[in-house]
Amino acid sequence: MEKTISIIIPCYNVERYLNRCFTSLKQQTLGFENMELIFVNDASTDQTLEKLTALEAQYPENIIVIHFTENRRQGTARNVALEYASAPYIGYVDSDDWVEDTMFEKMLSAIQTYDCDFVECRWDLARDIRHKSPVKKLGKPGYLDLREPSVRSEFIGTQIGLTALWNKVFKKSFLVEHDIFCPEQIRYEDIFFCYLAFLYAQSYYRIDEALYHYFVNPAGTVQRRSQEYQFDKMDIALGFLQTCKERGLMAQYKDDIEWMFLEKYYVYMLWEVFKEFPERSYACYLQMKETIHALIPDYKTNPYRRWESNEFDHVMLKLLDYPLDEATFLELRDDMLKKMG
């Protein structure tokens, strides 16, 4: 039987959480018979592979297990799984998370009804099934025609920080046609993937309902702070900018691309450095400033500057404008942390 959606689930040492994740997918109101689950075991060292193999044997018509003998990270797992996907729509779920029973029925209803390139829903942060914290609403719900320049600008301005794959469903043809992929052997690959999708998408639908439960895992990558791999975000942003140049996207989307780069490479990352790597903050600032002046010399005139709607953005961007010595910079950093940290 042909499937309606292929759901890609990278797995690494998640034997404790697999049952919860799988159960939430198995009981989808869409109908399990309409779903293809592609689990990628990324060289787990616990019993993850054994659990996946048992599921595949039990549900051979619905489950594909891909096994890596060497850890290749989520980017590679997602890229390889996409090659196996047979359905016209693609969804992503992280293996320690779970979803509402109605999630994929509602997501597919929206993407099919409005014939859009991708659809997303809201999510919450969950410590367990009973304790969830809703994430604040961001962006306009409903259908957006991104061919309209003002609509696209508002979309990118509000979506620029929302770079998760797991709350979205895409047309597979959209991903393949535009060669939207994850960088490999690097973390935060979903930033690159989503930013390309934001540029290429002509239409979009947002469901104003929290259908995805993101598990706040103390051992997870996002929760382990002050780790060197946090700086992968800068490399991801640089790779995105370079890819856009190579693809000739700058002619049409120069302002959008440069703003996306500026926010992810500099604004968000420098604030993270302030909090997690304070001893390196001045050196990082100088490196970022040099890069931005070299790659985006006209950043001051970018029309997205109108999105400077709070003191945080305003001050962070103003730091680029002046030749600050270390003492002055550190004084400004400490004052910002005291007020906004």
Distance (Å, whole) CA 287 – CA 106? 45
Q: How far is CA 11 from the centre of its chain?
A: 17
In this predicted structure, the answer to whether residue 224 has a pLDDT above a threshold of 60 is no
Q: What is the pLDDT of residue 8?
A: 98
In this predicted structure, the answer to whether residue 220 has a pLDDT above a threshold of 60 is no
pLDDT-based confidence at 168, cuts 50/70/90?
Answer: very high
pTM, 2 dp: 0.93
Query: Token pair 């910002």 is at which residue?
Result: 336
218, 96 in Cβ contact below 8 A?
A: no
Q: Which residues of 57-84 are buried (b: 16+ CB within 10 A; e: fewer)?
A: eeeeebbbbbebeeebbbbbbbbbbbee
The secondary structure of residue 266, as a DSSP letter, is I
3-state secondary structure of 5: strand
Which tokens belong to 118?
């991708």
Q: What is the pLDDT of residue 221?
A: 46
Q: What is the pLDDT of residue 238?
A: 98
152, 256 in Cβ contact below 8 A?
A: yes
Mean of the pLDDT values across residues 168-181?
98
- Return mean pLDDT, the chain: 93
In this predicted structure, the answer to whether residue 185 has a pLDDT above a threshold of 80 is yes
Q: What angle do CA 306, 309, 312 make, to 5 degrees?
A: 120
265, 237 in Cβ contact below 8 A?
A: yes
In DSSP terms, which residues pair with 99 in a beta bridge? 212
> What is the per-residue pLDDT across 228-254, written as a single tens digit (0 to 9) for each?
889 999 999 999 999 999 999 999 999
Mean of the pLDDT values across residues 202-211?
96
* Domains detected in the chain: 5-215 (3.90.550.10), 228-340 (no CATH)
Q: What is the pLDDT of residue 196?
A: 97
In this predicted structure, the answer to whether residue 205 has a pLDDT above a threshold of 60 is yes
Q: What is the pLDDT of residue 310?
A: 58
Residue whose C-alpha is closest to residue 86's, from 172, 206, 166: 172
> What is the per-residue pLDDT across 276-324, written as a single tens digit (0 to 9) for each?
999 999 999 999 999 999 999 999 899 888 765 656 777 788 899 999 9
Q: Which residues of 115-154 are buried (b: 16+ CB within 10 A; e: fewer)?
A: ebbbbbbbbeebeeeeebeeeeeebeeeebebeeeeebbb
pLDDT-based confidence at 139, cuts 50/70/90?
Answer: confident
103, 19 in Cβ contact below 8 A?
A: no
